[in-house]
Amino acid sequence: MRRDGGNRLLTVEEVAEWLRVSEATVRNKYRRWGIKPQKVGRLLRFRERDIANYLERNYG
């Protein structure tokens, strides 16, 4: 993962691995964290830059 983020779409599994939380935690808390998902069909995807921005805002 790039530290500054990019436009790459990440799966719930990739986000969970990056944040070191469970996939269920990502699915249940992304709204509370203020991370906007991108829907691909029925699947949730997250922009790498949105995750990087979340980390910077909260833990930067």
Q: What is the pTM of this model?
A: 0.86
Q: Residue 7's pLDDT is what?
A: 86
pLDDT level of residue 41 (50, 70, 90 thresholds): very high
Q: What span, in angstroms and rounded, lies between the C-alpha atoms of 2 and 23?
A: 20
| Range list of H helices, the chain | 12-19, 23-33, 48-59
Contact 52, 5 (CB under 8 A): yes
Q: What span, in angstroms and rounded, lies between the C-alpha atoms of 54 and 46?
A: 11
Contact 19, 51 (CB under 8 A): yes
